[in-house]
Structures are given as structure tokens and as C-alpha cells.
Amino acid sequence: MFGYVGTGIEDDRASRRNLESFDCWAFRPRVLAGALVPDLTTTIFGHTYAAPFGIAPMGGAALGCFRGDQVLAAGAAAEGLPMLLSGASSTPMEAIPPLGGAPWFQAYMPADRTRAAALVRRVWAAGFKVLVVTVDVPVMSNRSHYERLGFSLPLRPSIRLALDGIRHPRWLLDVLMRTLLSDGVPHYENLGPKRGGPLMGGSPVSRQRAQLGWDDVAAVRALWPGHLVLKGLLHPADAERARQEGIDGIIASNHGGRQLDSAATALEALPGMVAAAPDIPMMMDGGIRRGSDILKAMALGARLIFVGRPFYYAMALARTNGVRHAARLLKDELHRDLAMLGCQKATGLDPDLLVRICQERAQ
């Protein structure tokens, strides 16, 4: 499981650079700012959150913790943070909004317009007000190294997987067996308007998804009455096109380094995308490990930052308490770093606070 969650694809270049890209920026603090009480609150789409970060969508949450999606949602609600439920999750979307907070839903939109329309109606009926459409998965990525780990998607029984389960009795009993006894065989619950196939079945990615185009985005925009966000953009021209199509927000992302191994990082793409679409909220994910990472992204123009793997590890270790503890660690770091920067609010940080300290890789 750790190999599945903690790695990217192929040579791990994109996943590794997601972390390294933050080291290319350093702060230039302002001093003698007086007594400051840092304010972390962030308002986006009419909702005020306790901090400028949230929990990124993770389709395998329930594989790391019993009812992991509910655990993440409950922790996010308790800490006043947004949580993005993955369309590849094994938890029915209808189970999440009643837990409180203001969760968002991330969809892998079917190429079939009829099924896509039915999925949009289902998401709205479930109580979600923000729909995030992921657009960077036209095909499944090359995850061949999972075979060396004994892991695969779709999940298939193997000797290696069985031995790993025996060596980790807590996971075997408290996650796998508890899930099977309480909820039955996990299925892809949210890929379409109805329950999908089991996790041990076929590929979760529709073979038709490569056919998706901007006309499909326009069709979703016409159907969806709430806020619509596109996730997985890295090119300024795509950001500009999203603005023209009436998209309400963008999440710059390379899918955690799990799609195109030579893709740019979200942090590298941020300045160009913000310049191309300055009038809509720009968000990002990928490589966030510290409060200082969040502030660097915000100084480069991001309004909200989504964090994935750290919350997954916290969830697997200590369930809701772990999620809340991880959130508080980031909040504490944000308070401390803002004070050291001489800034009161996390929003609206001056990009002049940053200096680039890495040379360009190629001229």
C-alpha cells in the first residue's frame, strides 16, 4: 500500500520534482511589522474556510483506512477545511455531505453525454456545490512498477499481496476484513450515475475518455448549477480557454506525478497560468509538505492549496485524530511563518516576498 500511495510512475521524475520545485524559491521577509495576529481564513466560492488548504482527492483512501473517505471528510469538517471526494473512491458520494463541512466532488467525466449528464445530476442531488472535473487522464498512465510491489489497479489477488496482508495484521483485520464484513466487496461507487464495478474488476478509466474535448466541458457547464472547477491544467493557453468557457476555478496539477512523468509541476506552471486567467481563482496541488510550501504557492498566485499524501498517511495511522493533527501542524506552521514574514493574512501575499534561487534547467 505504501508503494502505491508514496510513488509516482515510471522513473518518479514528476513526483520527485513536485517536492524539489519548492526548493527553487526562498523568502525575503519584511521586518519590524509590529504585533501581528496572523489570519488564516480564506474565502472562495462564497464559503470561508479556516485555512487556505484542503484535502486533495484520493481514490484509494478506503484501502488505507476503514471507511477512509468518511474519515477524511470528518477531519476536514472538524478543522474547517474543504475536502475533495474522489470520483474513483469506493464510498458512495451520498455518504459524505451529511458529515458536515463543505465537501467538493471530483469527477472523471464519462465521454457519453447521457451518462455525464446523469452523473452531474447525481452529484448535485447528493448535496455538493463545487464540482471539480479532472481533465488530465485521457488514458491510464504507465504504472508498471506497481507489479514489482505486488499491487495493481484494478486490484487483483496475488501471492505478494497475500503475504503483505499477513505481515500487516492490523491492516488485514482493521481495514480489509472489516470492510468486507461491514460493506462488502469495494466497488467504484462514483465513476458514473450508478454504482460501478468492483475494485478487482476492469480499468476505472473509460476507454472513451480520450475523446473528451472542450465541447464536453461546455456541456457540463450548461448542466451544472454550482461552481465548476477544472483540475489537471498546466498550460497558460488552457487556463485562458477555461476562463472563456465560464469555468469558475482551476486546480493546477500534474496528478501527484502519476500521469505524465515528464510533466511540469503545478508550482512551475502557476505564474503563467495566473497571468493567463487572472480573474478566476487559481488553486494547486502536488508536493506540499510544509506550511512554507503553502505560502510559496500563494505568493505565486494560488488561492487555495490541496494536500494529499500527508493526510493519507495521517489517516492511515490515527484515523480522524490523525487527520486533525496533520491539519493543526500545517496551521501552526502557517501562523509561525506568516509572523516571520511580517504578514498578517495568508491571502494576497506579495510575490515580491519570493526570490528564485534555481537556475533554469534549459534556456
Element (H, E) at 298: helix 291-299
- Picking from 182, 41, 20, 207, the residue whose alpha carbon sits closest to that of residue 110 is 207
| 287 in a known ligand binding site | yes
- Picking from 345, 329, 323, the residue whose alpha carbon sits closest to that of residue 64 is 323
| 285 in a known ligand binding site | yes
| 249 in a known ligand binding site | no
Of the candidates 47, 227, 235, 255, the residue annotated as catalytic is: 255
The whole-angstrom separation of Cα 299 and Cα 145 is 36
- Picking from 316, 321, 311, 309, the residue whose alpha carbon sits closest to that of residue 256 is 309
Q: What grid cell was written down for 73?
A: 471528510
The whole-angstrom separation of Cα 348 and Cα 356 is 19
Q: Phi then psi for 307, rounded to 5 degrees?
A: -115, 130
| 335 in a known ligand binding site | no
| 4 in a known ligand binding site | yes
| 101 in a known ligand binding site | no
The sign of the CA dihedral 194, 134, 17, 343 is negative
| 108 in a known ligand binding site | yes
| 201 in a known ligand binding site | no
Burial class (CB in 10 A: 0-12, 13-18, 19+), 229: buried
| 86 in a known ligand binding site | yes
Task: Measure Cα distances from 16 to 285, 299, 315 in Å.
Answer: 14, 22, 22
| 308 in a known ligand binding site | yes
| 143 in a known ligand binding site | yes
Residue 255 bears catalytic tag: yes
Task: Measure Cα distances from 64 to 301, 309, 312 in Å.
Answer: 33, 11, 8
- Picking from 82, 133, 126, the residue whose alpha carbon sits closest to that of residue 245 is 133
Task: Please check whether residue 247 is in contact with residue 228, taking contact to mean a CB–CB distance below 8 angstroms.
Answer: yes
| 47 in a known ligand binding site | no
| 52 in a known ligand binding site | no
| 158 in a known ligand binding site | no
Task: Please check whether residue 205 is in contact with residue 139, taking contact to mean a CB–CB distance below 8 angstroms.
Answer: yes
| 312 in a known ligand binding site | no
Task: Please check whether residue 303 is in contact with residue 42, taking contact to mean a CB–CB distance below 8 angstroms.
Answer: yes
> Cell 505486488 identifies what position?
150
Q: What grid cell was written down for 306?
A: 490541496
Tell me how far the alpha carbon of residue 120 is from its chain's centroid: 20
Residues of the binding site for glyoxylate? 4, 143, 255
Residues of the binding site? 4, 57-59, 86, 106, 108, 134, 143, 231, 253, 255, 258, 285-289, 308-309
Residues of the binding site for FMN? 57-59, 86, 106, 108, 134, 231, 253, 258, 285-289, 308-309
Please list the active-site residues: 255
